[in-house]
């Protein structure tokens, strides 16, 4: 670990979950030295990495002298408690529940459908070819984002961002799913509220810095 960095972050350039942690670190002004785990090369299944993340999942965040932290939502909550300002959750009880709900719609309901281990299983056991896998991605990314759009559109709590006028955990998780659609060139129609919120996120330095295409290992 770099002497200047506060954490070691095990990640991969296009990982939606790693994107979430990058954005949170950027928002909080915290530093991490990033270690690339090449999902395409299967490095997540190495014996060395499985000691850090037993499921072989990324990201993993490590602070010197502490057990590795895994699961992006848990890491976001950890970072929010570690560095409370700016907050990733609203101050009121119902607001926090709403933000966590939207975040989970993205990170727990939508993202797991399109992760590499699902692709590997479907292509090796389920008989999927590349066209079938792309149709699967479009179906589940589209379903997830349509549900989030329905939750956001017209809700009085929705502001410049998913909840109010400052980015929260909900925006981080929503942007992480949209980042996946962009990497794989999948257009999701009829989500005007999401499109508006994402246009704002795209101009925010914390999100811009975390963009998958700006990370080491991303295609030129």
Instruction: At 156, list the tokens.
Output: 């009085």
Domain check: are 149 and 173 in the same one?
yes
Number of domains in the chain: 2
pTM: 0.96
Domain check: are 111 and 206 in the same one?
yes
Residue that finishes a domain, picked among 29, 52, 86 = 86
Q: Residue 3 has what pLDDT?
A: 52
Confidence of residue 9 (pLDDT cuts 50, 70, 90): very high
Q: Can you state the percent helix, strand and coil of the chain, rounding each to 5?
A: 55, 10, 35
Residue that finishes a domain, picked among 61, 86, 111 = 86
Per residue in 131-165, pLDDT tens? 999 999 999 999 999 999 999 999 999 999 999 99
Domain check: are 118 and 162 in the same one?
yes
Domain check: are 82 and 22 in the same one?
yes
Q: Is the pLDDT of residue 1 over 60?
A: no
The whole-angstrom separation of Cα 108 and Cα 102 is 10
Looking up residue 175, the CATH number of its domain turns out to be: 1.20.1050.10
- Residue 193's contacts (CB-CB under 8 Å, 6 or more residues apart) are 149, 152, 153, 158
Per residue in 40-77, pLDDT tens? 999 999 999 999 999 999 999 999 899 999 999 999 99
Alpha-carbon distance values, 42 to 16, 39, 217 (Å): 17, 5, 15
Domain hosting residue 72, numbered range: 7-86
Residue that finishes a domain, picked among 86, 109, 133 = 86
Longest CA–CA span in the chain (Å) reads 49
Please state, rounded to an integer, the average pLDDT across all residues of the chain.
Answer: 96
């Amino acid at each position: 670990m770099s002497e200047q960095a506060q954490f070691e972050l095990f990640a991969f350039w296009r990982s939606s979950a790693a994107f979430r942690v990058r954005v949170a670190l950027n928002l909080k002004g915290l530093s991490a030295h990033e270690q690339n785990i090449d999902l395409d090369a299967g490095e997540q299944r190495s014996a060395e990495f499985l000691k850090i993340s037993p499921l072989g999942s990324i990201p993993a965040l490590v602070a010197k002298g502490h057990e590795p932290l895994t699961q992006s939502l848990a890491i976001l909550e950890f970072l929010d408690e570690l560095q409370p300002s700016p907050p990733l959750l609203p101050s009121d009880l119902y607001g926090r529940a709403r933000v966590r709900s939207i975040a989970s719609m993205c990170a727990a309901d939508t993202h797991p459908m399109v992760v590499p281990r699902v692709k590997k299983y479907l292509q090796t056991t389920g008989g999927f070819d590349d066209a079938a896998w792309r149709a699967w991605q479009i179906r589940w990314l589209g379903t997830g984002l349509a549900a989030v759009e329905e939750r956001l559109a017209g809700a009085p709590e929705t502001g410049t961002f998913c909840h109010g006028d400052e980015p929260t955990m909900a925006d981080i998780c929503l942007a992480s799913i949209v980042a996946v659609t962009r990497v794989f060139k999948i257009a999701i129609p009829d989500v005007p509220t999401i499109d508006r919120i994402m246009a704002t996120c795209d101009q925010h330095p914390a999100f811009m810095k975390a963009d998958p295409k700006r990370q080491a290992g991303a295609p030129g």
